[in-house]
Amino acid sequence: MTENDYVIEVHPGVGAVDAGEWDALLSAQAAPTPFMGHAYLRAMETSGSVGGDTGWEPATLVVRERAGGTLVAAAAAYLKTHSYGEYVFDWAWADAYQRYGVPYYPKLVVAVPFTPVPGSRLLARDAPARALLLRALGALARETGSSSVHLLFGDDADYDAAREAGWMMRQGVQFHWHNRHDAAPADGVAAAIAPPYADFAEFLADLQRDKRKKIAQERRYVAEAGVTFETIEGERMSAADWDFFHACYRNTYAQHFSTPYLTREFFAAMQQSVPGNWVMFVASRDGRRVACSLVAVDREAGAAFGRYWGALEHVPHVHFEACYYQPLQWCIANRFRRFEGGAQGEHKMARGLMPSRTQSAHWIAEPGFARAIGAHLKQEGGAIDEYLSELDDRSPFRQA
């Protein structure tokens, strides 16, 4: 087929695309996640978390066969007037544009808003459809006067297509926990991965002594402060539970003089449409709830994702217990394969989360800026390689 055999459409959100069509295409990708599901993206739109004056204007791109209208490719894209909520930081690029009197915004971003979880972004039936989708993104950028296109936290197929199209690649680092960590190579051949941890104590036993001691001290401090935890899963979470979580979430943003990205209406949509994708860890003291973390789960993939946290009062080390130790304990008990700790945070290594390379792809419209940014990315990539090597030398796990 040629490009004339397809119709390219731009819609003001995923709501214009049938949910069954979208999710069927997503499920056929190499790395689908719940965050690219129609329900999740649609909730962003209907709750006012994106659109309006948020600086995230949905521009959902779809490719259909001209004969029959079959959906062959789609991307959740957003016209941005700022760089907040992306977790791939381009402030220096925006500053360079401003110094030269060239507008950097709007820009076009292909991502899940406020969600730095790697997974498929260019939903496509095959490689040619994915390549066509990339060309359509470039055309949309030109039509909207966007300075650039940024594909964030995609999968290998996305980046293979982006490289083929001449886009620039950027490296990043996150920290993920695996059940269990890879055994050290012997004689140049990686040993088999050991069976999953039986319990949290076995996981601790895998860590170096100083790391075990630190975690035990933090957990003991929380217990001695009279803090207990309740785990609430899926449909067991009531509206009152979600209200409490959102109060914690909102208060923590307020403590940092900021405004939360997600509205209460977004979480109401999660409770109604996909409650099974969430687990809540609620901290109480003296019969009063004081803090809460919210973890997203993909039960089919055996993956959990640390997403949101908040507290109504400060208790030392409760953050670590709610955001790491309770979720890891739950993952072990439920035989989950991995826990992704979200963006950044070298301190996570001390809790058994290991560095994992992430990527993004970038298309810059202005040739002079493209050359300068390309040179910068080469230097930055070398620094990331050195950083990852350094982190590997600081593994918290005992030598095999």
For the domain that residue 308 is a member of, what is the CATH number?
A: 3.40.630.30
What is this structure's pTM?
A: 0.93
Whether the pLDDT of residue 272 is over 80: the answer is yes
276 and 229 share one domain: yes
The residue with tokens 């999953």 is 196
In a domain, 343, yes or no: yes
346 and 201 share one domain: yes
Domain residues for the domain of 40 are 3-166
**Domains in the chain, number:** 2
180 and 300 share one domain: yes
pLDDT (0 to 100) of residue 362: 98
Q: Is the pLDDT higher at 134 or at 1?
A: 134
pLDDT (0 to 100) of residue 192: 52
In a domain, 303, yes or no: yes
pLDDT (0 to 100) of residue 193: 62
Single-letter residue type at 200: F
In a domain, 194, yes or no: yes
In a domain, 362, yes or no: no
Q: Which of 142, 166, 190 is the last residue of a domain?
A: 166
Mean pLDDT of 287-303: 96
In a domain, 36, yes or no: yes
In 3D space, the residue among 121, 82, 117 whose CA is nearest the CA of residue 103 turns out to be 82
**How does pLDDT run across 192-217, given as a tens digit for each residue?**
567 899 999 999 999 999 999 999 99
Percentage of the chain exceeding pLDDT 90: 90
In a domain, 372, yes or no: no
pLDDT (0 to 100) of residue 111: 98
Whether the pLDDT of residue 117 is over 70: the answer is yes
Q: Which of 147, 166, 185 is the last residue of a domain?
A: 166
Q: Which of 166, 200, 224 is the last residue of a domain?
A: 166
210 and 325 share one domain: yes
pLDDT (0 to 100) of residue 181: 64
319 and 346 share one domain: yes
289 and 324 share one domain: yes
pLDDT (0 to 100) of residue 194: 75
Whether the pLDDT of residue 343 is over 90: the answer is no
Mean pLDDT of 215-222: 97
C-alpha span between 388 and 380 (Å, rounded): 12
190 and 270 share one domain: yes
Whether the pLDDT of residue 184 is over 70: the answer is no
C-alpha span between 243 and 245 (Å, rounded): 5
102 and 185 share one domain: no
In a domain, 364, yes or no: no
Whether the pLDDT of residue 188 is over 50: the answer is no
Dihedral of CA atoms 242, 55, 158, 304 in degrees, nearest 10, equals -20
pLDDT (0 to 100) of residue 190: 45
Provide the terminal-to-terminal Cα distance of the chain, rounded to the nearest Å.
54
133 and 7 share one domain: yes
**How does pLDDT run across 70-110, given as a tens digit for each residue?**
999 999 999 999 999 999 999 999 999 999 999 999 999 99
151 and 200 share one domain: no
pLDDT (0 to 100) of residue 189: 44
187 and 73 share one domain: no
Backbone φ and ψ for 394, nearest 5 degrees, come out as -110, 30
Name the band, by pLDDT with cuts 50, 70 and 90, for residue 4: confident
Helix axes 264-273, 38-46, angle to 10 degrees: 150
In a domain, 399, yes or no: no
211 and 340 share one domain: yes
- Please, which residues have CB within 8 angstroms of residue 249's CB and are 6 or more apart in sequence? 260, 262, 292, 294, 308, 309, 310
Whether the pLDDT of residue 237 is over 70: the answer is yes
Percentage of the chain exceeding pLDDT 70: 96
